[in-house]
Amino acid sequence: MREQGRGRVVVVSADVGAGHDTAAAELSRRLREHGFLVDRVNLLDTLPAPVGWAFREAYRGMLRWLPWGYEALFTVTSRSRASVVLVRALLRPVRRRMRRRIPPDTRAVVTTYPFANQLLGPMRRRLRVPVVTYVTDFVVHPTWVSPGVDVYCALRHAELRDVSDPVELREVQPLVPAAFATPPAGNRARARDRFGLPRDARLALIVAGAWGAGEVETTVAEVAATGRVRPVVVCGRNEALRERLLRHHEHVLGWVDDMPSLMRAVDLVVENAGGLTCQEALVSGLPVVTYRPIPGHGRANASVLARHGLTRWVPSPEQLRPAFDALAAAFDDDTAPRRPGHGGPAAPPVRGSARPAGPADPARLVAELAVAPPPAGVSAGRVRTLVTALADTVGDAMAVLVAVAQSAALTRTGRR
C-alpha cells in the first residue's frame, strides 16, 4: 500500500538531449508511488533566459560542428580540477534562483545532470536535506562530483574516472521503465506490423539520442552495406536528419514514444553514446553494438561497456560484417525468449514482483534518505544582504554576456 504525505522531493535535470530528463521522469514516477510529492526542475530554466538557451545550443552545435572541441573539453575537465571549480564558480550566481525552486517542505533533492551537482552540492549546508545524484553514464566524470552531494547512485560496472575526492557510490538499478524488462504480450511479428517493418528480415535498430547526434548517416549507410541486417533508424527530434535519410532508406522514424514495443520488433541495437537507450536495450535483452561513438562521454561509456562485455565496440566499417555474423546466434525468433538484463544493468522489478536481491531501486534509496532527517527547506523569509543581492545581479549579467558571445561565435563557426 502506498504511504501518503511523506513530504516532497525535488528532482533536478536538464533538457540537454532527452536522457537526463527521461531518467528524471522515471524516478519521479517511482517516488510518487512511494507517496512523495515530486517537483521537477529544469536546471536550464534557473539560468537567465539567454544563458539557458545558449548553453543548450552551444552543446548541440559542438556535437554537430566541433566534435573534437567537445572531446577536448571532456578531457580538460577530466584532468583539471580547476576547470570543475570554475564551473562551480560560474553557477554560483544562480543559487538564489535555485533556492526559490526548493519549497520549505522538501525532504530531499535529486539530480540527474552533472552540472546540477556543481550548483546544489555547495548549497547542501543551507538546504539541510540530502542531495543525491543519479549518474546517467557508465563513467562518473569529475563534473558529476561536488562537495555536498551525499550519495552518488551509479549503475553496475560504472567507473570513477580521475576523481580524487571521496565519493560514496551506491550501485542501483537503471531508471528504465519495467515495460522494457517485461516479456511481450504478443509476438515479434505483431510488433513489426505495428511499425511497418518486414517480418522475415534481421533488423538493426540505429539510435542516436533525441538530437540524432553523431555520424548517423554514415553509420546507416555502412550498416546497410554489410548486407547482414536491415537498418531501422530513430532520428529523435532531428527532422532534418530524418528527411535526408528517407531519401535512401525505407525504415526511418522520428520521435518514438513506445520504445519497448520497437525494441521487441528488432534483433539488435546499434548505438553511439552508451546512454539511456543503450541501458533500455540491455534491460530488454538485446545485443548492443557500439559504432562511431560520439566524443567525450560517448567514447568513455563505450570503453566501459565493451570492457565488461555488455556491448561490442566495432572500431571500423570492415569489422561490422564480422560483428553481425558473430551476433547471429543471438538473433531471436518468435518463440525464443529473451533474457532481460543481458548481463548489463540490473533490470527494474516488474510491478507486483518481490523485491530482488542486488542493486537497489534508486527511488527506494532516495525515499529512505528523505524520511531520515526532519523536513527542512529554505526559509521563504530569509533576508539577503545588499552586497550578496548585488553580486547575484552582476553575476547574472556577466553570465548572459558570456553565453551570448559564445553562442555568436559558435554560430559563425557553423556557417563556415
State the pLDDT confidence band at 330, using cuts at 50, 70 and 90: low
Residue range 179-330 forms a domain whose CATH class is alpha beta
For residues 257 and 408, the model is more confident at 257
Q: What is the DSSP string of 95-163?
A: HHHHHHTS-TTEEEEEESSHHHHHHHGGGHHHH-S-EEEE--SSEE-GGG--TT--EEEEETT-EE-S-
pLDDT, tens digit (0-9, with 9 covering 90-100), for 269-319 = 999 999 999 999 999 999 999 999 999 999 999 999 999 999 999 999 999
| Residue 158, all three cell numbers | 560504472
pLDDT, tens digit (0-9, with 9 covering 90-100), for 355-383 = 345 789 999 999 999 998 554 444 433 43
| pLDDT score at 331 | 57
Distances (CA, A) of 84 to 89, 90, 208, 276: 9, 10, 27, 24
Q: Name beta bridge partners: 106.
A: 8
Q: pTM (2 decimals)?
A: 0.84
Q: What percent of the chain has a predicted confidence (pLDDT) above 90?
A: 74
The ranges assigned to domains in the chain are 8-175+357-415, 179-330
| pLDDT score at 161 | 83
Which residues lie below 8 Å from residue 194, measured CB to CB, with a gap of 6+? 261, 265
Report how far residue 191's alpha carbon sits from residue 259's, in angstroms, rounded to the nearest whole number: 11
* Phi-psi region at 52: left, alpha or beta (left = phi > 0; alpha = psi -120 to 50): alpha
| pLDDT score at 59 | 93
Contact indicator for 277, 266 with CB cutoff of 8 Å: no
| pLDDT score at 403 | 44
**For residue 88, pLDDT beyond 80:** yes
Contact indicator for 159, 152 with CB cutoff of 8 Å: no
